[in-house]
Amino acid sequence: QMSDAALGNILLIISCLSFCYYTAWVIMLLFSDPDHAINRVFPPVHYALLVPASTGLAFAGTVTVQSLH
């Protein structure tokens, strides 16, 4: 059984790594040439807006549905 502190540390590390990857993805692709090698590491830039927007909509929809019940 994992303690709450260990689980919290794992979730914190995952969140920080995800934030750093996303920030690098958005910033690096804005300032790189379309044929640069860095473009092979990251998905296309339009996903940078699509992923957080769809996640936010799903979260807001879940909260709304749960608050109605």
pTM for this one? 0.64
| pLDDT surpasses 90 at 44 | no
- The count of structural domains within the chain is 1
pLDDT digits over 16-43, tens only? 999 998 888 888 888 888 888 888 888 8
Distance CA 57, CA 69 (A): 19
Residue 23: give the domain boundaries.
Answer: 4-68
**Mean pLDDT of the residues in the chain:** 89
Both tokens of residue 67?
Answer: 């608050």
pLDDT for position 15 = 95
